[in-house]
Amino acid sequence: DAQSAPNAYARATETAQYVRSQLPESLQNPKLAIVCGSGLGGLADTIEPEPKIEMAYGTIPNFPQSTVQGHAGKFVFGQIGPQKTPVALLVGRAHFYEGHTMDLVTFATRVCKVLGVETIIVTNAAGGLNQNYRVGDIVCLNDHLNLAGLVGIHPLRGPNIEEFGVRFPPLSDAYDLDLRRRTHKAWVKLGLDQQQRRLHEGVYAFVAGPTYETRAECRMLNMLGADVVGMSTVPEIIVARHAGIRVLAFSLVTNVAVLEAGSRGNDTEIQTMSKAELTAHLSQGKANHEEVLEAGREAAKDMQALVKQIVSDLHEE
């Protein structure tokens, strides 16, 4: 039963020992981990070729197995950027909607903690709710709405694991201000502010999925103060903060919600629409997985450049 099974600290320690045993000494103590969301795994290809170790999630003891297409699952260890900063890259993640428990969804984050990670950069693909956002925009998260958590689906529910942190951790400072400031500086340094790409700060609403939001849910989330919505990230961030890891998180906007009243399609409107108008109306703002992956590919390069610049600037401190 749950009480007698080894807790997440014991399992994470076992996994970290296995992972370390596969690594050369120079990669055994990464202080930085990066979680690559849907279509954002390209960062793994920019790692120095030597030394570089890849471990498929399926080969790692206690790791959850990812089941979504476009989310290859591997742990990649290597050095990144001009200063050859040792990093642990999580390419692909376990989502709650796959049926994993919150314990499994956040397990890799805890392995990172045991490996000595002090800072984690989490990326994801998300839906835009803020009406100023466009597909391809990058959002540096400054807060979240843990909708699943507020109703009891929470990664820290259950006996507190003292080895990681306290029973009642604060989250008011979850999104590290210093790292956010560095982000804006890195953005300017890269000249990305002079390009089409746009960087915002915003609030991420975590939903369990796997359905995308209805129009009414989009309006509700927007009214509640969310700028983007997605099915990941928040559980990992909570577990990271519990364990005292500094957090920086980015959403790539891969689709935008239609929030205008007109999209509500009241009865008379629908009755007088032509078939073509109806088709257009229904496809407007409809999120789909292909669109998510495509927008990810386009904007991923800028996001990667941004992350690398931040890593490089962090190294200099």
Q: Distance (Å, rounded) from C-alpha 14 to C-alpha 261?
A: 53
Active site residue 255: yes
125 CB-near residues (< 8 Å, 6+ apart): 37, 38, 39, 40, 230, 251, 252, 254, 292, 293, 295, 296
Active site residue 71: yes
Active site residue 97: yes
Least distance from C-beta 126 to ligand ADE, angstroms?
Answer: 5
Beta-bridge partners for 251: 124, 139
Catalytic residue among 12, 33, 38, 226: 38
Active site residue 98: yes
Cα-trace Rg, the chain: 20
Cis bond before residue 169 (omega within 30° of 0): no
Cβ-based nearer residue to ligand ADE, 292 or 299: 292
Interacting residue ranges for ligand ADE, rule: CB under 6 A: 125-127, 207, 212-213, 229-231, 254-255, 287, 292
Active site residue 133: no
Residue type at 94 in one-letter notation:
A
Least distance from C-beta 99 to ligand ADE, angstroms?
Answer: 17
Catalytic residue among 154, 281, 289, 315: 289
Cβ-based nearer residue to ligand ADE, 182 or 197: 197
Among 158, 157, 145, 22, which residue's Cα sits nearest to residue 78?
Answer: 22
Least distance from C-beta 257 to ligand ADE, angstroms?
Answer: 7
Active site residue 220: no
Least distance from C-beta 181 to ligand ADE, angstroms?
Answer: 27
Cβ atoms of residues 114 and 13 within 8 Å? yes
Active site residue 232: yes
Helix (H) or strand (E) holding 55: strand 53-56
Q: Which residue is nearest to ligand ADE (CB)?
A: 127
Catalytic residue among 62, 98, 222, 236: 98
Active site residue ranges: 38, 71, 95, 97-98, 125, 231-232, 255, 289
